[in-house]
Structure 1
């Protein structure tokens, strides 16, 4: 009778051991996945629903305002001159103040936190002042972002 009892629990014990090993491998995989993800992520604490961060354009320091409503990264004429950005042709822009004329350019590289993006289409807006840069969808479509409370997490897509 004891032999019969051992035989019936033996498959259960084997299943439990296999289940334990699967769980251990899942935990290790998730820890490695989340660890790699955090190395490629930037968490920004928002203020009144807007998000900003420091970074660089072509290795020059800038201040980014994230703008998911902007089609392109947008820089001022002043900043474009400082960065020696190439004029790739005139373009019309729809702005909050109406239609404006600017010019297209390309940014070799932008960085913010651990995020590095290359060859980003941008627009130079001569009506824009200062050194703030609107970080629009020409850059943001190359990252994943999620919002939780006042925090926005931006993760590099590999």
Structure 2
């Protein structure tokens, strides 16, 4: 009986610890809304802004990356999302030059904010979160105060 109790306690503690690690890594699993056009993200413990979102209606985790020109996806993630692999191109990354592919995203959602018809790049053989690059981020006003980032959708003029 005691062995069963200790086993259940160990399973429960493992599950709780895993939940804490996930919240520390991505504290924005539920995006905070200020209004219909504004969200707030908290930094993770590494100083990055990650948030749950969707591409073409399928869930993804975004890493906001002002150093990325376009939205960038790993090869496995692009395959999971069913994104088309277009013409080959050479990409300049922090790790050096790599071969990638053009792609296209019909819809990209971050909380209630949805963008349409965005170019993207696929980086085969890599494994990372979806990088939310400047072709998406330029449509927002970004304000950082302390460890919080406010993202406001700019209405097209």
TM-score range, shorter chain: 0.7 to 0.9
Provide TM-score, normalisation by structure 1. Answer: 0.73
2: CA distance between counterparts of 1:152 and 1:38? 15
Question: Who is 2:71 aligned against?
Answer: 73
- Give 1:110's match in structure 2, choosing from 108, 123, 128: 108
Task: After TM superposition, give the deviation of residue 138 of structure 1 in Å.
Answer: 1.2
Paired positions, count: 121
- Give 1:121's match in structure 2, choosing from 119, 122, 132: 119
Provide TM-score, normalisation by structure 2. Answer: 0.73
2: CA distance between counterparts of 1:50 and 1:105? 25
Task: After TM superposition, give the deviation of residue 40 of structure 1 in Å.
Answer: 0.8
Determine helix, strand or coil for the equivalent of 1:100.
Answer: strand
Task: After TM superposition, give the deviation of residue 38 of structure 1 in Å.
Answer: 2.4
1: CA distance between counterparts of 2:80 and 2:42? 29
Question: Who is 1:92 aligned against?
Answer: 90
**Unaligned regions of 5+ residues in structure 2, if any?**
1-33
2: CA distance between counterparts of 1:83 and 1:102? 17
1: CA distance between counterparts of 2:55 and 2:111? 12
**Unaligned regions of 5+ residues in structure 1, if any?**
1-36
1: CA distance between counterparts of 2:93 and 2:76? 18
Deviations 1:42-101 (A, max 9, x none): 100113431010000000000000000011110011111111111221111111110000
When the two chains are superposed, the root-mean-square deviation of aligned CA atoms in Å is 1.3
2: CA distance between counterparts of 1:71 and 1:61? 22
Q: Which has the higher helix share?
A: 1
Q: Aligned ranges for residues 9-158 of structure 1 at < 5 Å? A: 38-47=35-44, 48-130=46-128, 132-158=129-155
